[in-house]
Structure 1
Amino acid sequence: MRLALLAAALLLAASSATAADTRIPAKALEQAAQLRERALADDTGWKVTESLTTEVGPRLAGSEADARAVAWAKAKFAELGFDRVWTEPVTFPKWVRRSESAEVLGPHAQPLAVTALGGSPGGTVEGEIVRFADLAALQAAPEGSLAGKIAFVDYQMTASRDGSGYAQGGAIRSRGPSAAIRKGASGFLMRSAGTDNHRVPHTGITRYDEGLTPVPSAALSIPDADQLGRLLARGPVKVRLAIDAGWDGEYTSQNVIGEITGRSRPDEVVLIGAHLDSWDLGTGAIDDAAGVGITMAAANLIRQLPQRPARSIRVLAYANEEQGLHGGKAYAERHAANAGRHLLAAESDFGAGRIYAFNTGAPEHARAATRQIAEALAPLGIEYAPGKGGPGPDIGPLAAKGVTWAWLAQDGSDYFHLHHTADDTLDKIDPAALAQNVAAYAVFAYLAAEAEGDFGSQAKPAP
């Protein structure tokens, strides 16, 4: 009798666990198939991306164009018929670029194509170049060995679909200047964190450790890094680096938010987003006007359905991602108490290449629903990738507050050919690939919003 009662209890527990599993209704899956096909034939994503890159252009955080981008986003959400549009302030230090140049001095005198790293101070320095193969080599240099010299880190990134080579390239940009200062350097140069072979240097933010006096820091285009390497093979090289840039007080921009209201659970949201700012060299097409176009267009297609999804679809155009995830951090702090009402959050911030994989950070009880979404995405050439992925940059702070992330992996094989350069322009985007992204985000967001059950989001206690 006791064994029979135990067996019955276990059966009841298993039944309850099954009942608690998150699932997506068959009717929603049928609607998603139609939504997917409509999205592939729709050009809203392209039109939004074209509008932002053409009417606003480069959108350096804190610039006059930053304010125009905010106004553009508010107007675009309204034009597309979003039910609610609002802004939330984001305050950050303002960095200004005015000019930069570099040149080889002496018998082989010639100009070098450089761009100041974001956060670099102004100043002109002249010094002998000391080359290092990577960040570790610079960090291992003897103390004081670079006094009066310019450090040059000559690390070559390699291209890959997932952009994994950026881990090292980005680390050199963010940590290299401080390492050089510690060794006594008066300036810092690096081979651009990129995978192209064009004479267009890659910018990006750098950091200076507390207690250090910043020095002028810049990135060389990849051909110019090669040129400098060849010159060094012939003997000592002296370079003059001149930068007119620096911090200029604080600026308050805005996160711009548009929402499609859910029919039965409007206080619960599926969040999709991209960052509105860009660097100032190109027009910020792949980084990240494409993401803005993808997410706005996906939600707009959901809005046009005969029946709204159960939950709201929230699209967030983040402020100042490029200089420190300021918009993402501000949103996460403001909405931390409501983390549990954010069912899932996903970000499009890796260009406009086709999406090839999907996963979520959902717990076991929501894995079946994750698989259902993956099956609906499969006709788009997207594979289910359990155990892989993670939150996008601006979603990271929200995930740390307890919101479950979703990952729609874009093919970034050529992303770092263009990233943070003057070549980041609209002509680099394939409209068909952009439409595939819109279709994927529309299907994902719609099905998540229709799910019966949750994906594990839960507000975490403040540390």
Structure 2
Amino acid sequence: MKNYKSASLIALFTLVLFGCQQTTKINNDPIKATINNSEDAKISQQLAQQALQSNLAYDLVESLTVEVGPRLAGTDKDLQAVDWAIHNLKSLGFDKVYKESVQVPAWSRGKAVASIVSPFEQPLVITALGGSVSTPEKGIQAPIIRFDTLSDLIAASNKDVEGKIVFIDHQTEKHKDGRGYGITVGARSKGAVEAAKKGAMAIVIRSIGTDHDRMAHTGMMRYQEDVPKIPAAAMSIPDAELINGMLKRDPNIIMSLNMSSKNLGVATSYNVIAEVTGHSKPEEIVLIGAHLDSWDEGTGAIDDGAGVAIVTAAAKLIQDLPKKPARTIRVVLYAAEEVGLVGGKAYAAEHSEELSKHYIAAESDFGAGPVYQIDFNVAPTSFSQIQHQVSAITQIGVALGTNTASGGPDVSMLPKLGVPVASLKQDGTDYFDYHHTPNDTLDKIDPKALAQNVAAYVHFAYMMAQSEVELRPLQPKN
């Protein structure tokens, strides 16, 4: 099991020093801040303590990964996950449970086999990138041309690339906030287009990951209508190092590649929604979300079964209060995030007329590491007030952060539509060790860290449902 220093976390989580004073940061300035000690804050703190002692989130993610497992958008398993979600949300007693249809791209991974055939014969561990076309039935054999980065490929001459298999070898750095991923992921999403523009026969990238296991990381790639479609795959990080060792000895490395992946058109999936109906402002919405789909390599435990469990368990605690919150808490389990934020875009379109009633939105989609910071994206004049509203969250190890939140993938398009968002930032130091691999499995989740996530989300959601702070308009983005 993943080590999150559980003993230290348990000691931290059981602190109940609510109502005390502490030094924190508001607007990035250290000041003496009084923890919010209102009646609402006391209720949210009680909810957080319940969350720390509850196994519900772990039970939910265990159920999803054991009973459904991998749930690639557009497959039968995807629809099985929708049925699972509807059944469990209804069983938990939410006031409303419903689904909204979403048209999603359907794709089959097929097989992916690669090897070096000359001068050093060795097999390679690869996987198709999501959306890739297949090779010809008999496969491809061609020389490798290596690039450090996508930018280096773009700068290369067509003559050097034509007729070859492009190998982009950009290493992803490990960071707590996962920022290394953003630097290297362009090779996965855009590499095939740039390689094809220069006449390449295929592209195989170093996996966008931070592990040293001999397994490849999948993920979505993109084609461009006016550019030929070439096969696209990722190789394991040890195999990328193996090829580098070969290239030191001989620059003329020949790769064999055979893939049978196939695009299957469009299928129907669903955004699954549950609500705790507000008692005095039911038309106003606090949205907490996660995505229900996963890649087909692992069981989708950390990406994003954990998120599904976190937001569902948090909302369930609020559902069971003797008195409902002022605003409606809406749980949205998005469809087809992995293949292009399809469910998030569909939700924004379907609910366009009520987005003005969305008070704030947040999404859990970065594994199950502890939440260490909460960021907002609200009106600058309201930032300090809303930080004070949630300031008791610091008692479970969550620092007050910045006003630059994106909210998470499926809600990332909402700020430009005027909806305030928050990001409950999780420790993702090891997240990209497992991301999009067969190693995304239940044993990577620490139940104590998962419970701390639920505590952070229930505190956030309840305080937002009760808040009287006006969060709009947002800061204009340049």
Same-fold call, TM > 0.5? yes
Aligned to 1:50: 62
Q: Do the aligned residues in 2 keep the contact of 1:329 with 1:398 (CA within 8 Å)? A: no
Q: Do the aligned residues in 2 keep the contact of 1:295 with 1:441 (CA within 8 Å)? A: yes
Deviation (angstroms), 1:92: 2.2
Deviation (angstroms), 1:364: 3.4
1:196 to 1:230, Cα distance in 2 relative to 1, 3 A: same
Range with bigger deviation, 448-457 or 244-253: 448-457
Q: Distance in 1 between matches of 2:383 and 2:128?
A: 45
User: What is the one-letter code of the residue matched to 2:56?
Assistant: T
Residue 413 of structure 2 aligns to a residue whose secondary structure is helix
1:179 aligns with 2:191: no
Residue 424 of structure 2 aligns to a residue whose secondary structure is strand
Deviation (angstroms), 1:145: 2.0
Aligned to 1:259: 275
1:117 aligns with 2:129: yes
Per-residue Cα deviation, 1:382-425 (whole angstroms, up to 9, x for no partner): 11112343221100122222111011000110000000000000
For structure 2, the 5+ residue unaligned runs are 1-35
Alignment of 1:358-373 (within 5 A): 358-373=374-389
Aligned to 2:91: 79
1:385 aligns with 2:401: yes
Aligned to 1:64: 76
Q: Do the aligned residues in 1 keep the contact of 2:119 with 2:253 (CA within 8 Å)? A: no
Count the aligned residue pairs.
437
Aligned to 2:6: none
Per-residue Cα deviation, 1:412-440 (whole angstroms, up to 9, x for no partner): 10000000000000000011000000000
Aligned to 1:307: 323
Residue 127 of structure 2 aligns to a residue whose secondary structure is strand
For structure 1, the 5+ residue unaligned runs are 1-23
Residue 60 of structure 2 aligns to a residue whose secondary structure is helix
Q: Do the aligned residues in 2 keep the contact of 1:89 with 1:252 (CA within 8 Å)? A: yes
Residue 248 of structure 1 aligns to a residue whose secondary structure is strand
Kindly report the root-mean-square deviation, in angstroms, between the aligned alpha carbons of the 2 structures. 1.5
Q: Distance in 2 between matches of 1:445 and 1:221?
A: 40
Aligned to 1:102: 114
User: What is the one-letter code of the residue matched to 2:198?
Assistant: K
Q: Do the aligned residues in 1 keep the contact of 2:390 with 2:459 (CA within 8 Å)? A: no
Aligned to 1:169: 184
1:39 aligns with 2:39: no
With normalisation by structure 2, the TM-score equals: 0.89
Deviation (angstroms), 1:369: 3.6
Q: Which of residues 142, 156, 172 in structure 1 aligns to 2:171?
A: 156
Residue 261 of structure 2 aligns to a residue whose secondary structure is strand
Q: Do the aligned residues in 1 keep the contact of 2:181 with 2:208 (CA within 8 Å)? A: yes
1:403 aligns with 2:419: yes
Per-residue Cα deviation, 1:30-75 (whole angstroms, up to 9, x for no partner): 1111111111001111111111111100000111100100000101
Residue 163 of structure 2 aligns to a residue whose secondary structure is coil
Q: Distance in 2 between matches of 1:324 and 1:157?
A: 21
Q: Do the aligned residues in 2 keep the contact of 1:145 with 1:184 (CA within 8 Å)? A: no
Larger radius of gyration: 1
Q: Which of residues 103, 128, 132 in structure 1 aligns to 2:147?
A: 132
User: What is the one-letter code of the residue matched to 1:239?
Assistant: M
1:330 aligns with 2:342: no
Deviation (angstroms), 1:96: 1.2
User: What is the one-letter code of the residue matched to 1:94?
Assistant: A
Q: Distance in 2 between matches of 1:241 and 1:69?
A: 33
Aligned to 2:4: none
Deviation (angstroms), 1:200: 1.0
Residue 160 of structure 2 aligns to a residue whose secondary structure is coil
Q: Do the aligned residues in 1 keep the contact of 2:97 with 2:274 (CA within 8 Å)? A: yes
Deviation (angstroms), 1:25: 8.4
Residue 91 of structure 1 aligns to a residue whose secondary structure is strand
Residue 92 of structure 1 aligns to a residue whose secondary structure is strand
Q: Percent identity?
A: 46
Residue 330 of structure 2 aligns to a residue whose secondary structure is strand
User: What is the one-letter code of the residue matched to 2:47?
Assistant: L
With normalisation by structure 1, the TM-score equals: 0.92
Q: Distance in 2 between matches of 1:431 and 1:267?
A: 34
